Chain A
Amino acid sequence: MDKQDMNEGQSVFNLSYLKQPKGLWSWLVTLDHKRIALLYLSALIVFFFLGGVFALLMRLELAHVGKQMIDPDTYNILFTLHGVIMIFLFIVPGIPAVLGNFCLPLMLGAKDVAFPRLNLFSYYIYVAGAIMAIIGLSNPADTGWTFYAPYSVRTSTGVIMMTAAAFVLGFSSILTGLNFIVTIHRMRAPGLTWFRLPVFVWGIYATSVIQVLATPVVGMSLVLLIVERMFGLGIFDPKLGGDPVLFQHLFWFYSHPVVYIMVLPAFGIVGEVIPVFSRKPLFGYKMVVFSSVGIAAIGFFVWAHHMFVAGISDPSAKIFSIVTFAVAVPTAIKVFNWVSTMYRGSISLTTPMLYAMAFVFLFLIAGTTGVYLATLAVDVFYHDTYFVVAHFHYTIQGGAVIGLIMGLHYWFPKISGKHYNTIVANIAWALIMIGFNLTFLPQFVLGMEGMPRRYYDYPAEFQNLHTISTVGAFINGVGYMMALINLFVTFVWGKRFAEANPYEAIGLEWRAPSPPPTENFDQQPIVNHGPYDYGRVALH
């Protein structure tokens, strides 16, 4: 980059949303979707770190058979906090709140989301829920993030504060979803028809629908649980005439679709990254879109596959097994289309592209191991073993978290106006891949050997695999730290200013300066081509 470009970058930078208006207060009351995205991001990283530390403490305890350093009650609290924080405070808001907020209006060619004030309000509801959760840490629950009754009704630990926090966080999620749905319907640039929408926007759309429809149900069930604890009404506790299986139905009616809230936007990011770095249209664009919508729709009718051995009737177990298989098909279709996009491309192995390829590998493992769990007779064996633990970490960490990290790298020049250090980023990628697989591949084997989950201690025959898993977890942790610190250091002290469209991508967000000014575009963009018309649309 020569000096003139540098100066140009500097002047764009000073007009950006990051610099104008100035002052802490202007950030705290900002209505700018991009600033709100960064507010979310800073909170999420704190909780990602906290949840990660809890996970590493657990892995340390499990490294060797017998007691290492903490007692069983503390261990039970650790896995509860790890789950509650990672799910409700980190990965459910995750991609939609950060990358959805930042990119959605830009990708639609809009100035902001449909309801900017509501957007800020959603953020402060999230902050309120987060503060409640932090207060809850003084008397943490030991129920697991699933809060199963009647254990959660009877334990002496602080279930009420934790569930109340999750309840409040749900409102943030609902309002964000509502905001995005309206934004996508009403704020598209001229010419941006539904089938010209980038697949990331489709992913956010499908996710938002789930957020709006499913979140109220978990809110209700958590309130019922609180009422049960406070007044002993007899809804879930069989001693009082309640039904513990009912709680599981209500809980999973939300908490299964919620995994699609986590991964559908990540699917979308893969669908952005692969075409850009292959210089090819996304293969089978419409099938990829339909499969996202299909997953979101079918995802509402599979919840009881978490309950095959929970005491539900045999016919319902059979039906839920079959419906669950129906989700596998659209997921497979996506993978085939992503890989086919690379065929005869001109492929640059940039950091986001490396993450996208890692995502395909990890999600293949996540998806195929999901088939074991959908298969009724086989799930009887695997239910509540380490196989399940490994499976959902492949979907949620290998899917949603890798998706978030991939998206942060991909849009980083747009967000910060700067270029991160690629070598450091790629080393971090390698550490994450090695660490992650080393942590969770052995857990599949543990599950196959019959090791139950949520165990503080275990028979000695399981020890070697546990030790390997612990080593992997620490490598994984170092990888994430390295990736995030690299981005943070660049964000604050980086000097290499990014051009508006460093990847020569077609998406509308790349037409805005990097970083964009508060109102995003100088003039209203007009769209006259599909989202990935590489090889056909002249960019210059």
Chain B
Amino acid sequence: MFRFLPEQASNHAAKVDWLNNLITDISVACIVAICGAMLYFAFRYRKQGNSDQETPHIEGSNFLEIVWTAFPTLVCVYVAYYGVVYFADMREVPNEELEVMAEGQKWKWDFKYSNGKKTTGELVVPVGKPIKVLMTSTDVLHSFFIPAMRVKADVIPERYTYVYFEPLKTGDYHIFCTEYCGTEHSGMRARLKVVSEAEFNRWLEDDSDLLRLSRLKPADIGAELYVKSGCNACHSLDGSRLVGPSFLKLYNSAREFADGSKIDKADENYIKESVINPNAKVVKGFSPNLMPSFDGQLNADQIGAIIEFIKTLDGSSKAIVSGGTTSSNVDRAKLSPKERGELLYKEKICISCHSLDGSKVIGPSFKGLWERSGKLVGGGSYKADADYIKRSILEPQAEVVEGYPPAMPSYQGQLSDDEIGDIIEFIKSVK
């Protein structure tokens, strides 16, 4: 009866739940017995008629006092003992643990692995290994709670605290913030993904995102940040007026501000100031206090990339931002399928993982790919015909070439059949 704890997914869970259920059973038994006695007395010894019946003068009983002092004392000692012992087990981290750094910040959880890999809102760990999450906060108190693992600890600025657990089964679990931290406290959640050790190692070594970024031009990274950091919500690229000024032809333009001051040229320093301290110079006609400061959220490289991106918006060509890079708006109808494919190869950033010169990046090179055959991960083989390439674009994880990580995202819904045909034509041409 009264078993509501979540599934037992860590080494602590069985012990905690045993103790919890023991308390439940004793409590329910006591409540039923005591309330039962009370109700029985109330009925059995109810006042009959209008006058009181004679009652005995009982002042107490030393024997009973001893019994009901000793009984709860013994129960308390027993329960307290196991509470302390199991708590000690939660705090004693075995030596061969996997350590993950966690940082709580209003209102997100960032995780960092020993090889430098970072995630936000998602903690990926291998099943069956002791995990130590070493935590700190950048602002106020938070608390890190994984119900399925039965662990929790407050996360404190300028200090480290930790939780330790050993996941027993793979799965996807809630991570909550349980120390009140302001507006979005209830939204400060993350996911714990427990995966097999092999899958974890593949995931951990998969640095495709980092590599991809390292191969992009700063302006292209800036274009991605423009979407990822949400600049696009308030700043247009086509000169139209949104909440903030458009980025079109912003660089080196003359600006007039709400306080009457002016600058002749919106240079790099002006743009940087506007990102870090948006209220320092508010363009005339726009409202102050709407833009949040991106200080601490964007590093110097990223701000530089955004500046480079803004520089490209000189009006000479129409900017297209889709999932990442931009390219000039050429009249595609006039191009051959192969040329359109080449454009897509750059726009859809196939370029960052698939080389054209035969070098091995993250995915197989496109050079000589057409009609090549080889082995797949997990057995089986492939022959790179049009069907295979199309399947690889739409369901990249289904048939992964041996020796490569399953890193590619699906382009389902992002590329039309015609566009996939164009890409295939382009691949055919890379010999």
Binding site for B on A (CB under 8 A): 72-73, 76, 142-144, 148, 150-151, 154-155, 238-239, 244-245, 278-281, 283-287, 309-311, 314, 317-318, 321-322, 325-326, 328-329, 332-333, 335-337, 339-340, 342-349, 357, 360-361, 364-365, 368-369, 371-372, 374-381, 383-385, 445, 448-450, 452-459, 533-536
Contacts and interface: CB of A to CB of B under 8 A. Distances in A.
Given A381-B152, A454-B185, A364 B6 contact: no
A332 B67 CA distance: 11
Given A76-B182, A281-B59, A339-B34, A376 B159 contact: no
5 contacts: A151-B182, A154-B139, A349-B46, A372-B20, A536-B57
B90 to A, nearest CB: 6
B141 A148 contact: yes
B176 A450 contact: yes
Interface in B72-100: 72-73, 76-77, 79-80, 82-91
> What 3 A-B pairs have minimum CB-CB distances, sorted nearest first?
A450-B147, A368-B27, A377-B86
Interface of B: 4-6, 12, 15-16, 19-20, 23, 26-27, 30-31, 34-35, 37-39, 41-42, 45-48, 52-61, 64-65, 68-69, 72-73, 76-77, 79-80, 82-91, 139-141, 143, 145, 147-148, 150-154, 156-159, 161, 174, 176-187, 189
Given A150-B141, A343-B45, A448 B82 contact: no
B76 A329 contact: yes
Contacts of B48: 346
Contact of B182 (A155, A287, A449): A155
A336 B58 contact: no
B55 A346 contact: yes
Given A150-B157, A384-B179, A536-B57, A376 B34 contact: no
Contact of B23 (A72, A76, A372, A536): A372
A285 B60 CA distance: 7
A51 to B, nearest CB: 19
Given A317-B87, A383-B178, A455-B186, A347 B47 contact: yes
Please indicate which of the listed interface residues B38, B56, B148 has the most CB atoms of chain A within 10 Å of its own CB.
B38
A279 B52 contact: yes
A533 B52 contact: no
Contacts of A449: 4-6, 147
A376 B55 contact: no
A344 B58 contact: yes
Contacts of B152: 309, 380-381, 383-384
B188 to A, nearest CB: 10
Given A285-B60, A371-B76, A381-B20, 14 more contacts: A142-B182, A238-B159, A244-B141, A284-B60, A310-B154, A321-B83, A328-B72, A337-B60, A339-B41, A375-B83, A381-B16, A381-B150, A449-B5, A454-B185
Contacts of B161: 311
Contacts of A374: 80, 83
A376 B86 contact: yes
B80 A281 contact: no
B34 A452 contact: no
Given A150-B140, A151-B141, A365-B31, A342 B87 contact: no
A445 B24 CA distance: 12
Given A345-B55, A448-B5, A322 B84 contact: yes
Contact of A318 (B35, B42, B84): B84
Contacts of B39: 357
A449 B79 CA distance: 22
B102 to A, nearest CB: 14
Nearest to B157: A238
Nearest to A73: B183
A150 B139 CA distance: 8
B30 A376 contact: no
Contacts of A244: 141, 156-157
A92 to B, nearest CB: 22
A281 B57 contact: yes
A142 B183 CA distance: 9
A36 B68 CA distance: 41
Nearest to A338: B38
Contacts of A322: 80, 84
Nearest to A146: B180
A458 B188 CA distance: 11
B178 A348 contact: no
Contacts of A329: 69, 72-73, 76
Contacts of B89: 377
B163 to A, nearest CB: 9
A530 to B, nearest CB: 8
A510 B90 CA distance: 57
A279 B68 CA distance: 23
Contacts of B34: 335-336, 339, 360, 364
Contact of A368 (B30, B65, B179): B30
A378 B16 contact: yes
Contacts of B179: 148, 384
Contacts of B73: 329
B80 A375 contact: yes
Contacts of A332: 68, 72
A450 B6 contact: yes
A494 B156 CA distance: 58
Given A349-B42, A368-B30, A534-B55, A376 B156 contact: no
Contact of B186 (A245, A361, A457): A457
B87 A318 contact: yes
Given A151-B181, A322-B80, A378-B23, A280 B58 contact: yes
Given A329-B76, A343-B58, A368 B23 contact: yes
A126 B150 CA distance: 43
Contacts of A281: 57-59
Contacts of A380: 16, 87, 90, 150-152
